[in-house]
Amino acid sequence: MTRRVALVVAYDGAAFHGFQFQDGDIATVQRDLERAIARVADHDISLTCAGRTDTGVHATHQVIHFDTEVSRPAEAWLRGTNRYLPETVSVHWAGEVPGDFDARFSATARRYVYLIDNAPVRSALMTGSITWQPRKLDARLMHAGAQYLLGEHDFSSFRAASCQSRSPVRDMQRIDVSRRGELVVVDLTASAFLHHMVRNIVGTLYETGLGRHSPEWIGEVLAARDRTRAGTTARPDGLYLVDVQYPDAFGVPRGPDLPHLYSYISS
């Protein structure tokens, strides 16, 4: 009998060349997860994830699934897999799910958070976990500009040239920019994201936050459907996948809220 198992996974993206498996035994999250799960299952594993994060991008709530012929309690999948993983990856939840569940295609929304250290001096402790921007950002202007991205749009202006998605249309359900002391937080939820879409949005919001363009300019960039009109691609180290949403019937838990992320990066 084939069983489908889902895992919720967190990882430090600075330790890997992205999530997706690559030839040549390159360190990727998928490689280490498949090896660890295979030792628990006692057979080779091929997994599917909710979103393939790039080199340097982190996750506190990535979701994967795999099929297996063996029966294991959820606790065995969780603790057994963690036993064989490096310290930079951990499984936080495991459970058997219906056979029609798909970590990628069953998802109704993904949530990313981008963290910017807006202090005048870089942190000695947060390298690789947060992006440093020493020039003062106006988070209120960034938030005002970000609201032009709400709704279903063609996001070609924020799409990487290497993006393989068939369509540039995405539904931006929420995008907020806020300041917490010297920390600026960009919080985005969409049906799905294009390659480099979040980082390109953040790089464009920088232009408004630094006073180079008005908030209305963000709407003009979106309408142009031209990547050359947008800002530079922001660094990957401030980007976190923090939640993937599914219909309740699948029983996959939601990601914890932002305070959990702050404790995660400071631990």
How far is it, in rounded angstroms, from Cα 215 to Cα 146?
8
Q: Report phi then psi at 44, rounded to 5.
A: -65, 150
Q: Which amino acid is at 210?
A: L
Over 90: is that where the pLDDT of 261 sits?
A: no
pLDDT at 126: 85
Q: Which residues are catalytic?
A: 54
Q: Does domain 109-240 have CATH number 3.90.550.10?
A: no
Task: Please indicate whether residue 266 or residue 174 has the higher confidence score (pLDDT).
Answer: 174
pLDDT at 233: 96
Over 80: is that where the pLDDT of 263 sits?
A: no
Work out the mean pLDDT of the chain and round it to a whole number: 94
Which range of 123-132, 162-171, 236-245, 253-262 scores highest in mean pLDDT? It is 236-245
Across 253-259, average pLDDT: 80
The structure tokens 């369509």 sit at 167
How far is it, in rounded angstroms, from Cα 172 to Cα 194?
11
When pLDDT is cut at 50, 70 and 90, the band that residue 256 belongs to is confident
The two structure tokens encoding residue 244: 């993937």
Model confidence pLDDT, tens digit, residues 87-112: 999 999 999 999 999 999 999 999 99
pLDDT at 260: 60
Dihedral angle over CA of 75, 81, 85, 88, nearest 10: -50
Instruction: Tell me how many helices (H) and strands (E) the chain has.
Output: 6, 10
Across 140-154, average pLDDT: 98
- SS3 of residue 69 by DSSP: coil
How far is it, in rounded angstroms, from Cα 213 to Cα 204?
10
The two structure tokens encoding residue 2: 């084939």
Q: Does domain 3-106+247-266 have CATH number 3.30.70.580?
A: yes
Model confidence pLDDT, tens digit, residues 166-221: 899 999 999 999 999 999 999 999 999 999 999 999 999 999 999 999 999 999 99
| Domain assignments of the chain as residue spans, ordered by start | 3-106+247-266, 109-240
Eight-class DSSP state of 7: E
| Residue 64 CB neighbour total at 10 angstroms | 24
Over 70: is that where the pLDDT of 259 sits?
A: no
Strand partners, 112: 188, 241
